[in-house]
Structure 1
């Protein structure tokens, strides 16, 4: 089979994680050849392989409609040139006039999240609100036009079915603990020093670049409550981003979160590490005590698997997808309640038995996810789709 992967939208976060882990599973397979159209952010992340060809494209500087029309015009030409049998559109938007059967991977819940829409309006982000609505229209039509749409979780598949009235299949993203922890390169000395300074206290961790739906402000308010109620615990929250202006990729403004640090007087409690290389993240997880995930919408949440695989107990917002991915190996709180988040963290800190139980449950749960299983499932679906459309 000749598979064409349209991944121009993989610029950060889950999109890059998908390519970084999925493509090594396809590399070297004799039953498939792959052409990948990826953006500049993904260039260099994809390992060389005889059966994988990389095309680097760019839609930088284009608006939503300009990018959409460019993709509709140019990608069919590239598909034909590659002689592809099946197209995998890995970034929410389908190629509406694909010359071959198409599988769409839909993995962005922002287009249908009322919380995100309300959040943008409260922040005065009206242009982003309009862009999100426009992207949502394209994403919804994409589901209707693709021959097969995949969601990375049952929870998100249910949302998509309700949103579109269209059937959506489920194929969990994978995870490979051995691959994730294999790099022995230590964290940079300055990062190690900042972790060591909090060694006698409690180290909370949140792995994410700054964006609105990850709900940083609720987390910061919870840290302020923990600082007040547990002065002896030495609470420190480690972030893999920086909140200073100009330090965060993308168009999300950090000024509100930065001001909140000062307003709550928790600047010394929040350690902004900046971006950590993916291959070194496992060292950071293992150096911390509790993983927190306050997002108000998600489709899969890879960091939960990473945290579980590294033995970290988790406190997560009470979303169906968080319960699905952890299978209950976490404590949950109402997504917009700093007091509940602080209470769940305190509950963990007060119970070594609970921490140990969640750690063991998480380690077992992480073993249930495999990129090989994901790749096998994808190729099986592609083969079946090709057979059905060639009748």
Structure 2
């Protein structure tokens, strides 16, 4: 079976790119006999950003584009249409026209002959309407009502998102829904660089806490910064390394609020903000970090948690429902939004933390990550086969 995959996200949302990356890597883990052919569609917004070069390295992936003359499918289709119409067909056909299913479809009336598998990352705009304009909230409601009215399977990344779907869109309770937990997967080359050398290149201390989030309002940076300020008052300086986009498209006020917290808490010098990093460099920061921190107020299924799990890292984690559903090993939960509780949990974990990587724990985590990746790939193929009417 050929499957069309839409590259999700982009420079504006690297979490979406990582979603695509994890799916393609998981499918690449499958034995050759199980591995599907993938046509990857990259939108014009994301062209020339390096994604074509990255994903062409997968043997079972081709980048979507026009079918070439002489292609069997194209020749047969043109022949049929010529007989029906009596004219030579001059329009373009795409590689994706051969695909049985397409994923993740994130809206209604998406063109193309493939059976669409729909996907909603989360319903954050329902939980935090103040983060979205009235126009954007209305637009999303309208889009989802039209999308849910279309036939086909709807995929969520967690049971928590399904609960929200049934709560906010009860009219569609009968729609076929599948849960697909994504998992982080890595390549052997990701472990070739020396984490100490990479971190030294960025001027990082030997021991630090790593927070890899885009600096968006729901990601909890304010909680993290206030917790560090409280610990500083108590005489404990914990270096925090942050990576990810520093801009939230919805507001510029949040960035100014964070700057004010850093200044008021006198912790500017211990919070290192590196912006967007190359993925392989980012992995070395994970490996070297003494602790990983994820203070987010809302997620659909969190990539940071899956990355930390796959690398055997200890993570200090907000206790939102989806994080408890993910339930990683080596975790310390704190009450979401409570910087006092976070400060207490960070101080306790920091006391026993050392600079990474812990080679034994990392090796175990890597083996387990392969098993999770294979399960993720097979769960996805089960959904694709059901959408194509093959099961």
TM range (shorter): 0.7 to 0.9
Scaled by the length of structure 1, what TM-score is found?
0.76
Aligned runs of 1:1-391 on 2, under 5 Å? Answer: 1-7=1-7, 9-11=9-11, 12-26=13-27, 32-39=36-43, 40=46, 41=49, 42-49=51-58, 51-55=60-64, 82-90=97-105, 92-95=106-109, 99-112=113-126, 114=127, 116-118=128-130, 120=131, 127=133, 129-165=134-170, 166=173, 167-177=176-186, 179=188, 181-184=190-193, 191-192=200-201, 194-195=203-204, 198-199=205-206, 203-229=208-234, 231=235, 233-241=236-244, 243=246, 248=247, 250=249, 252-253=251-252, 254-327=255-328, 329-350=330-351, 367=368, 370-387=372-389
SS of the equivalent of 1:235 reads coil
Scaled by the length of structure 2, what TM-score is found?
0.76
The answer to whether the Cα contact below 8 Å between 1:308 and 1:363 also exists between their aligned partners in 2 is no
Distance in structure 1 (CA, Å) of the matches to 2:194 and 2:310:
18
The answer to whether the Cα contact below 8 Å between 1:155 and 1:299 also exists between their aligned partners in 2 is yes
Q: CA deviation at 1:237?
A: 0.9
The answer to whether the Cα contact below 8 Å between 2:195 and 2:287 also exists between their aligned partners in 1 is no
The answer to whether the Cα contact below 8 Å between 2:25 and 2:185 also exists between their aligned partners in 1 is no
Distance in structure 1 (CA, Å) of the matches to 2:53 and 2:248:
19
Deviation sequence 1:96-121 (CA, Å, 0-9, x none): 56644221122133233x2x223x2x
Cα distance change of structure 1 residues 37 and 321 upon mapping to structure 2, 3 Å threshold: same
Distance in structure 2 (CA, Å) of the matches to 1:137 and 1:278:
35
Distance in structure 1 (CA, Å) of the matches to 2:258 and 2:346:
21
Cα distance change of structure 1 residues 238 and 168 upon mapping to structure 2, 3 Å threshold: same
Q: RMSD value over aligned CA atoms?
A: 3.6
The answer to whether the Cα contact below 8 Å between 1:171 and 1:374 also exists between their aligned partners in 2 is yes
Cα distance change of structure 1 residues 162 and 79 upon mapping to structure 2, 3 Å threshold: farther
Cα distance change of structure 1 residues 151 and 191 upon mapping to structure 2, 3 Å threshold: farther
Distance in structure 2 (CA, Å) of the matches to 1:21 and 1:238:
24
Distance in structure 2 (CA, Å) of the matches to 1:183 and 1:256:
39
Cα distance change of structure 1 residues 31 and 347 upon mapping to structure 2, 3 Å threshold: closer
Distance in structure 1 (CA, Å) of the matches to 2:245 and 2:101:
40
Q: Which runs of 5+ in 1 are unaligned?
A: 57-76, 121-125, 354-358
Distance in structure 1 (CA, Å) of the matches to 2:123 and 2:228:
27
Q: CA deviation at 1:51?
A: 4.3
How many residues are aligned here? 347
Distance in structure 2 (CA, Å) of the matches to 1:361 and 1:183:
14
